[in-house]
Structure 1
Amino acid sequence: MLLVLHKPYGVLSQFTPEPGSAWRTLADFSLPPNTYALGRLDADSEGLLLLSDEPGLNSRLLDPAAAHPREYWAQVERIPTDAALAQLARGVKIGNYTTQPCMVRRLEPAPAMPPRDPPVRARKSVPDCWLALELTEGKNRQVRRMTAAIGHPTLRLRRMRIGRFELGDLAPGKWRELTASEREAVFG
């Protein structure tokens, strides 16, 4: 079984709570027993999260050799220049690691997103913009660290696609089982 969940903001990608944490967990969503998350999204990130009860799918999906593309939409502070976007696309240094090249583009016009609870910090004197980044790797907080490295901190982050499978109009907090063709779109 392969499921898609539109993970809302403030939810850990695990079923057990962290000691002392106020974040919700996947246990709050009435998912079928014996499922587990394929990969992670940080609690402060939203969007497409796959879950399964099938052993081996995690490594099949996340193995860097498989190079499954993942698309993220990031709302960033200020408007990055073309040179800053080119730097992101080439790869940036985050800590002691240089990211792999990726595809990046401005989303113009900005996508219509439902409001987030709590709302994203907005400053009247500082514009923001949305970027689409397609990665084939997934280091810890990678998109946030990449946009910060070029001077544009991420305000809101949503995973929109894995492979050719898109989140679509699945509402935050809702989940469903993937069809055979959707499964093929994930693993290609």
Structure 2
Amino acid sequence: MEDINHRHFKVFKPYGYLSQFISNASKQQSKKFLGTLFSFPVGSMAVGRLDEPSEGLLLVTTSGKTSALVNSKKVDKEYYAQVDGVITKEAIAELKNGVTISVEGKSYVTKPCNVFKLENIPVLPKRAKKIRDDRHGPTSWVSITLNEGKFRQVRKMTSIVGFPTLRLVRVRVGKHTIKKMDAGEVIEIDNVL
């Protein structure tokens, strides 16, 4: 049973932040960390990660057991990806069925997942660094829901089918969403699952 003294949070990680709380290396002194967004309790850890240019929902807990449970249960994670070009039905079908990407120098076939083109541009907080505009060519948005999480997986997947990701926002992890949250906002929640 979960220790009731543990605390859990959902965070809208802004663009340009690392999914860490403090710097481990002197070369990272100029980087931005989660710990600067909120005074998280001692022992807090991110459940999964988002790379520095990615945005969106990040769950934080003080419970290692909860973190491991979420990762072991293969909880669904939904991403909105703005891709370069007007994505085709063929590319969406490839993404759904699984594509071969490189993971740690080895070929990896992604698991089948739920993918569809968003008909409308999603309403999201303005990003700290501007994305190029339509003068440089059209873009489109897709929803990709995975229950695995290889390093930079969504970016690798869209690139391999010919539509590189320009902006990536995780909008949902399990039952938790970023709905009505602003970039940098932290909300304490009762539990992660």
TM-score by length of 1: 0.91
User: Per the alignment, in what secondary structure is the counterpart of residue 72 of structure 1?
Assistant: strand
SS of equivalent residue, structure 1 residue 20? helix
Q: Which one of the candidate residues 113, 116, 121 is aligned to 1:102?
A: 113
SS in 1 for 2:143: strand
Counterpart of 1:165 in structure 2: which amino acid? H
Aligned partners of 1:157, 1:44: CA distance in 2, in Å? 8
| Distance in 2, Cα, partners of 1:119 & 1:125 | 13
> Is 1:5 aligned to 2:5, yes or no?
no
Task: Return closer, same or farther for 1:115/1:30 CA change in 2, 3 Å cut-off.
Answer: closer
Deviation per CA, 1:129-164: give whole Å up to 9, x if none. 110000000000000000001010100001000112
Is the aligned partner of 1:39 residue 2:48? Answer: yes
Return structure 1 stretches of 4+ with deviation > 4 angstroms: none
Per-residue CA deviations over 1:2-28 (Å, capped at 9, x if unaligned) read: 100110000000012243233201121
Partner of 2:68: 59
Equivalent of 1:146, from 144, 152, 157? 157
* Superposed CA RMSD: 1.3
Instruction: Describe the SS at the equivalent of 1:124.
Output: helix
Overall identity of the aligned pairs, in % = 38
Residues 148 and 154 of structure 1 are in contact (CA less than 8 Å); yes or no, is this contact kept in structure 2? Answer: yes
1:130 aligns with 2:141: yes
1:53-107 per-residue CA deviation (whole Å, 9 max, x = no partner) reads: 11211211112xx221000000000011111100000000002101000000111
Deviation at 1:120, TM superposition (A): 1.0
Report if aligned partners of 1:14, 1:37 keep a CA contact under 8 Å in 2. yes
> Partners of 2:57 and 2:136 in 1: how far apart?
32
Q: Alpha-carbon deviation of 1:114?
A: 2.8
- The answer as to whether partners of 1:23 and 1:43 remain within 8 angstroms in 2 is no
Q: Distance in 2 between matches of 1:138 and 1:8?
A: 19
Shift in Å, 1:125: 4.1
Cα distance, 1:30 vs structure 2 = 2.4
Unpaired runs of at least 5, structure 2: 1-6
TM-score for both structures, normalised by structure 2: 0.88
- Provide the C-alpha distance between the structure 2 equivalents of 1:19 and 1:119, rounded to a whole number of angstroms: 28
**Aligned equivalents of 2:122 and 2:81: distance in 1?**
11
Opposite residue 32 of structure 2, the aligned amino acid is R
Change (3 A) 1:37 1:78: same
User: 1:49 is matched with which residue?
Assistant: 58
